[in-house]
Each structure stands twice: as structure tokens, then as C-alpha cells.
Structure 1
Amino acid sequence: MGFSYVVAVAILLSSSLIFFGMVYNANLQAELQIREAQQREIEHITEEVETALNVTSYEVRQNGSAYQVTMNLTNTGSVTVALGESTLLVNGTVVNFTFSAPYLFPQGRGHITFDAPSVPFTYELVAQDGYSIYGEVE
């Protein structure tokens, strides 16, 4: 009876070690994923804070029943804005637009061109990092 007791204790101890090793490994992986997510969030917030776009001027031309708008932009922030990945809303509706360059570098200037259904209208340009500028054209 002594030998079976020793074997049972050995099996219980080894299975306990394996179990706690698996639990530790799972917790370690979860902690690493949380830290990576927090780091990505910090980087995203930093990009959004350091992004700044200004509308320097705009030109509105009537094009049939719609209006063609050319909006001049200046990047006054320290983050490059990818105009090709940005979204433009006119009166709350997503519209297609063309841009002078796919990227607007810090202190750079560029323009976007789009069609608006009527004047006055509101616009919102949302950059890839979530930064947005909002305005009204009268």
C-alpha cells in the first residue's frame, strides 16, 4: 500500500505542476496582450493630439445642379496625414473626393476637390487617426 500512495502523490504533484504552468502561461500571454494594446492606444492618442489640419481657403464653382468645391489645407501638426485614407462628409453624407497628393506632410499644403449638392453646406474631414475638422461653407 505504501508504493501506490507514493505513485498517487507523484501523479497529483506532477499534474498540479502542469496545471499551474498552463495557468501561469495563459495569464502571462493575457498580460502581454494587454500591455501591447495599451501601448497602441498611447500611440494612437499621441498621433491624434499631434495632428492638426487647417482649411486656409476654399473655392466654390457651380457645376450644373451641383457645386464643385476646392478646399485648400495646411498641415500645422507634426503627423503626416494620409488624405487617401481620410473620409469626407458633406451634410452628414460620405462623399468621394480627389486630393492633390496622397500624403499631407507636416507644414505641407494641399487641396481636396469634391462635389456638394447645395450651398451652404457643412463638412467634416476625418483623418486616418480619428482627428477631424468641421466647418460650414456659406
Structure 2
Amino acid sequence: MGFSYTVAAVIMLSSTLIFFGIVYSSYVQSNTSITNANQKLIKNIYNLENTKIEIVSYYYNSSSSTFYVNVTDNGSTSFNLSESNVILNGTLISFNESNQYIFPLETITISFKASPGIYSFELVMPDGYEVFKEVKS
């Protein structure tokens, strides 16, 4: 009876160590995921607070049926405009930009084809910053 008690104790101790090893590794993994998410959140908040995109002017070229919207970056962050979106009256549209990147204090031109009329123009930057303007021909 003494030997079986010892074997049972060893099995219970081994099971307990394996259990706590699994729990500990899961804790470390989840803690690392939370830390990475917090760092990403801080970076996103920083970028959003330092984004100041403004629509300076716009004009419509009736011969080519194209709107041209001049946008200035008055913030301290730069963006790749291929990661940005243009929404016209609630619909995602394709657009052309004069430069692929917009740097602080730089003005670029965004152009898109549309028939004459009044449109709600929205530029959405990669960090979630949005700027609205009603454009009309």
C-alpha cells in the first residue's frame, strides 16, 4: 500500500506541474498579445491626434468630366495615399493622386471622374482620420 500511495502522489504532482505549465504559457501568451495591442493603440492614437488634413480647394473640368480636389497636410504625419479611400455620396470610388505620398505641409491634388452635380466628398486616411467637403460643378 505504501508503494501505490507514492506512485499516486508522483502522478498527482506531475499532473499538477503539467497543468500549471500550460496555464502559465497561456498567461504569458495572452499578456504578450495585450501588450502588443496596447502599443498599437497608442501608436494609432498618436497618429490620429497628429493628422490635420484639409481640403484647400476644388474645381471641375467640364471638358474631361473630372473633379480636382486640392488637399494639404497640416499635421506632422505623412501618408501613403494608395492606402486612403475616397467616398463620394456614400460610395467608394477610384481616384488618382498627383503624388503617392503626402508629407507635412505639402499640397497634393486628388482627381476623380464624375458627372456635373453636387457631391459629398469624403477622404479617409489610413489612420481613420476623415475630412468632408461638399463639391459641386
TM-score, structure 2 normalization: 0.92
Candidates 63, 73, 76, aligned match of 1:75? 73
Q: For 1:34 and 1:68, locate their aligned partners in 2 and report how far apart those are by CA, in whole Å.
A: 47
Residue 32 of structure 1, CA deviation = 1.0
- Residue 62 of structure 2 aligns to a residue whose secondary structure is strand
Q: For 2:22 and 2:8, locate their aligned partners in 1 and report how far apart those are by CA, in whole Å.
A: 21
Residue 124 of structure 1, CA deviation = 0.2
- Taking the TM superposition and a 5 Å limit, the aligned residue runs for 1:80-99 are 80-99=78-97
Number of equivalent positions: 136
**Residue equivalent to 1:118:** 116
- Taking the TM superposition and a 5 Å limit, the aligned residue runs for 1:1-138 are 1-63=1-63, 67-138=65-136
Percentage of matched positions with identical amino acids: 39
Q: For 1:114 and 1:103, locate their aligned partners in 2 and report how far apart those are by CA, in whole Å.
A: 17
Q: For 1:117 and 1:45, locate their aligned partners in 2 and report how far apart those are by CA, in whole Å.
A: 37
Q: What residue ranges of structure 2 are gaps of 5+ in the alignment?
A: none
Residue 63 of structure 1, CA deviation = 3.6
Match for 1:134: what amino acid? F
Note the aligned Cα RMSD (angstroms): 1.3
TM-score, structure 1 normalization: 0.92
Counterpart contact for 1:90–1:116, Cα < 8 Å:
no
Q: For 2:17 and 2:116, locate their aligned partners in 1 and report how far apart those are by CA, in whole Å.
A: 72
How far does the alpha carbon of each residue in 1:66-97 deviate from its partner, in whole angstroms, 9 at most, with x for none? x3111111100111021111111111111111
Q: What residue ranges of structure 1 are gaps of 5+ in the alignment?
A: none
Residue 116 of structure 1, CA deviation = 2.1
Q: For 1:137 and 1:17, locate their aligned partners in 2 and report how far apart those are by CA, in whole Å.
A: 68
Deviation >4 Å, runs of 4+: none
Residue 121 of structure 1, CA deviation = 1.1
Q: For 1:25 and 1:84, locate their aligned partners in 2 and report how far apart those are by CA, in whole Å.
A: 40
